[in-house]
Amino acid sequence: MYDSMKCVGQEEGYLKVCGRLDLVLEVSQGIATVLGGLLAEYSYFWCYGACLVIALLALLPVLLMAEAPSGEPAVPVSERQEMGAPKEGQERTGCGKKQGAIYFGTCKETARDVVRQHFRVSGQILLAVGGASCLGAAFSERFFRNWEPKTVTAAAVAIASALIFYGFQNMPLSAAAFTAAGFFNSVLYPIKSDALNQLIPSGQRATLISVDSMFFPWQ
């Protein structure tokens, strides 16, 4: 939102707009808490159904949004013509934005283009990681029965090594390391859960495991 306002020279009004947006969010959350509680009393189906419908409706305006130029300074019309930008009366689909005598940016993508690019690249990597994670979870018990404590050490070393490989900033290497980390993370999770259940008394198990589950993504 700040970048969009900056593109049209209205960044000084960001604080006011942000405050109004926060007001809308707070009011909406308050109303949702009351209505969600009423729906939950009647049926959780309607509660989750309403959340799903709202999420789908929220996607519509998001897909129609356009990415703001990435911090590019405004360029006068005379200068942008020298830079090869379209002259007056000419159009170039999806590129730049004219506001008065100022030309903002060189080319901007729509949110739909960004989503498509993410699916083209990230979707393939995450698919590989998801498959590796499924294999890790499936073979977790077998690994632990064969190597027992060594499994925990090997998984921890593999995940730490993956973090090191990220530092090389090489896409194929990082993708392979990410996939390996997902595999060993899935191997480690059931083993850790089993160890905690054996160590924690029944009276405190539910509370401590709930707290641990919130911290696990950062461990």
pLDDT of the residue at 105:
43
pLDDT of the residue at 69:
65
Around Cβ 7, how many Cβ atoms within 10 Å? 20
- Residues 120 and 206 reside in one and the same domain: yes
Question: At which of 109, 137, 162 does a domain end?
Answer: 109
- Residues 84 and 172 reside in one and the same domain: no
Q: Which domain holds residue 99?
A: 68-109
Question: At which of 65, 92, 121 does a domain end?
Answer: 65
pLDDT of the residue at 210:
76
- Residues 53 and 125 reside in one and the same domain: no
Q: In this structure, what token pair is assigned to residue 125?
A: 């990597």
Angstrom distance (rounded) from CA 26 to CA 175: 39
- Are 51 and 58 within 8 A, CB to CB? no
Around Cβ 179, how many Cβ atoms within 10 Å? 20
pLDDT of the residue at 50:
85
pLDDT of the residue at 183:
92
- Residues 36 and 58 reside in one and the same domain: yes
- Residues 105 and 116 reside in one and the same domain: no
- Residues 117 and 105 reside in one and the same domain: no
- Residues 169 and 105 reside in one and the same domain: no
- Residues 135 and 190 reside in one and the same domain: yes
Angstrom distance (rounded) from CA 103 to CA 162: 44
pLDDT of the residue at 207:
76
pLDDT of the residue at 58:
87
Residues of the chain with pLDDT under 50: 71-107, 219
- Residues 124 and 185 reside in one and the same domain: yes
Q: In this structure, what token pair is assigned to residue 5?
A: 């306002």
pLDDT of the residue at 115:
74
- Are 151 and 191 within 8 A, CB to CB? yes
Chain position carrying tokens 């993370």? 185
**Tens digit of pLDDT for each residue in 183-196?**
998 888 888 778 77
- Residues 161 and 205 reside in one and the same domain: yes
pLDDT of the residue at 89:
42
- Residues 176 and 87 reside in one and the same domain: no
Domain count, the chain: 3
- Residues 4 and 89 reside in one and the same domain: no
